[in-house]
Amino acid sequence: MRHVQGRARRVGAALAAVLTWAGLLAGAAGCTAEGAGGPDGLFDKPPASEDVIRITPDDGSKGVRPDRRLRVQVPSGRLESVKVVKSQDARESPVRGRISDDGLSWEPADRRLALAAEYTVDAVALDGHGRRSARHAVFTTYVPEKRFVGYVTPEDRAVVGTGMIVSIEFNREIADRAAVERAIEVSAEPAVEIRPHWFGDGRLDFRPERYWKPGTEVTVALHLRDVQGAPGVYGLQDRTYSFTVGRSQVSLVDAARHTMQVRRDGQLVATVPVTAGAPKTTTYNGKMVVMEMLEVTRMNGATVGFKKADGKSEYDIPDVPHAIRLTESGTFLHGNYWADQEVFGQANTSHGCVGLRDVKGGGADTPAGWFFDRSLVGDVVEVVHSKDGKVAPDNGLSGWNMGWKEWKEGTALS
């Protein structure tokens, strides 16, 4: 009898436990939040997505600085996917990045944020209990008031002579020259060593040790976008330029002999009579590169300092034909129709330019017309035996007058 009673007590206790658990379930069902169910709804509400997935900068942030770190993290569990899109200048692009091996964090490949951009982050993760959460966040970055740009010589897709120097002039002074230099890449095919040289804080030139080989393809990549060139001043461009090196033409002006020898690919093709700078207004010696070519232009001496005692210009010629600029300071190789025919090949009478015989309006069959039609921007014109100094390396594209060792010392990078 005692055995039967003991069994009954055990059955009763088990039944009471079942009823109690059922009562708990029934009571709990009446006080859970709408939509809750199962053990998660009974004892612990699913955590908010911002607690599971933490995104920095915060959602809704504005004016985020470029050095702020973009990161997606979970305290436990793992990230399943992270998608980040950058919208800048009305263009969207994905932001590359990777989830860490432990699955707890995601970081972009480029840790520096773009300026004036909107970032959209979409992340999906599993928490430590295997529950899936998704989070969407948007923030915008700092919009700088001041920007800088670089103006590239030569023009994109140009065909140039073998003496072309890549020259980049900036619209603002560059304080952090190293940062800007790192953001510019000049490459060539076939490959050749190309080095940069700064002329002051506003100009950066690139060249190889010797003239380019004909047929070389050169690419100039400006990755200046958001690069800080000076305090509060950021770059604007992310562009690529390219140009092709054409045939070789190097012309040698002998100011003492009043001649110009024109060589193509090393072979002498013509000797042209010229008139160079007069004794009081001599022509620079040295290697100069054709910067631009004008069918006709006006030359006014007052613009380059040639004035009479009364302040008037020493000359003002409205229609100089076949004008080829050699320096920024105003040295040209050009057609001359106003001088006596006898001076060409016999005397130096110009204000520092190199003159070739021509006719008013420019003639195709004159020495000046012949040379103009066979020239390219980037061709080299070298002057020797003039009673003047050597042209400065930064006067136009005259960097070939600087030795290779000195040229390489002009970098801002150690």
37-51 tens-digit pLDDT = 444 444 456 678 788
pLDDT for res 35: 38
Beta bridge partners of 252: 261, 382
Read off the pLDDT of residues 192-225 as tens digits, 9 standing for 90 and up.
Answer: 999 999 999 999 999 999 999 999 999 999 999 9
CB-CB contact of 153 with 397 (8 Å) = yes
What is the band of 138 on the pLDDT scale with cuts at 50, 70, 90?
very high
pLDDT for res 305: 79
Give the other-Cβ count within 10 Å of 245's Cβ.
Answer: 23
**What sign results for the dihedral spanned by CA atoms 178, 179, 184, 190?**
positive
CB-CB contact of 351 with 306 (8 Å) = yes
In this predicted structure, the answer to whether residue 22 has a pLDDT above a threshold of 70 is: no
Beta bridge partners of 390: 285
In this predicted structure, the answer to whether residue 71 has a pLDDT above a threshold of 80 is: yes
Give the pLDDT mean for 10-30.
37
Cis geometry, peptide bond prior to residue 57 (ω within 30 degrees of 0): yes
Annotated domain spans of the chain: 49-140, 146-246, 249-398
> Which residue did the predictor score with more confidence, 332 or 24?
332
What token pair was written down for 32?
A: 């859970």
CA 203, distance to chain mean position in Å, is: 13
Residue tagged 């309006």 (tokens): 361
Return all residues near 118 (Cβ < 8 A) that are at least 6 apart: 86, 87, 88, 138, 139, 140, 141
Active site residues: 334, 353
Residue tagged 């939509």 (tokens): 35
What token pair was written down for 61?
A: 């942030």
What token pair was written down for 145?
A: 């008031």
Please indicate whether the domains covering 49-140 and 249-398 agree at the CATH topology level.
Answer: no
Torsion-angle region of residue 75: left (phi > 0), alpha (psi -120 to 50) or beta? alpha
Q: How far is CA 271 from CA 121, 259, 282, 285, in A?
A: 69, 7, 21, 19
Beta bridge partners of 55: 72
In this predicted structure, the answer to whether residue 409 has a pLDDT above a threshold of 80 is: yes
What is the band of 304 on the pLDDT scale with cuts at 50, 70, 90?
confident
49-140 CATH: 2.60.40.3780
Give the pLDDT mean for 313-329.
91
Q: How far is CA 369 from CA 126, 197, 275, in A?
A: 77, 35, 16
Coil, helix or strand for 19? helix
In this predicted structure, the answer to whether residue 13 has a pLDDT above a threshold of 70 is: no
Domain boundaries 146-246, CATH class = mainly beta
Cis geometry, peptide bond prior to residue 108 (ω within 30 degrees of 0): no
- Backbone φ and ψ for 33, nearest 5 degrees, come out as -70, 160
- Mean pLDDT computed over every residue of the chain: 89
pLDDT for res 18: 36
249-398 CATH: 2.40.440.10
Calculate the CA dihedral of residues 324, 280, 339, 330 and round it to 10 degrees.
20
In this predicted structure, the answer to whether residue 259 has a pLDDT above a threshold of 90 is: yes
- Backbone φ and ψ for 8, nearest 5 degrees, come out as -65, -40
CB-CB contact of 277 with 300 (8 Å) = no
> Which residue did the predictor score with more confidence, 25 or 384?
384
CB-CB contact of 84 with 119 (8 Å) = yes
**What sign results for the dihedral spanned by CA atoms 272, 277, 278, 284?**
negative
What is the band of 6 on the pLDDT scale with cuts at 50, 70, 90?
very low
Instruction: Please tell me the number of Cα atoms within 13 Å of 315 on its side-chain side.
Output: 14
Give alpha helix (H) positions in 67-218.
177-182
Read off the pLDDT of residues 159-183 as tens digits, 9 standing for 90 and up.
Answer: 999 999 999 999 999 999 999 999 9
- Best CA proximity match to 381, nearest among 394, 371, 370, 373: 371
Give the pLDDT mean for 263-278.
98
- Best CA proximity match to 205, nearest among 4, 2, 3, 395: 395
What is the band of 4 on the pLDDT scale with cuts at 50, 70, 90?
very low
Residue tagged 């430590």 (tokens): 128
Return all residues near 399 (Cβ < 8 A) that are at least 6 apart: 165, 197, 205, 207, 393, 407
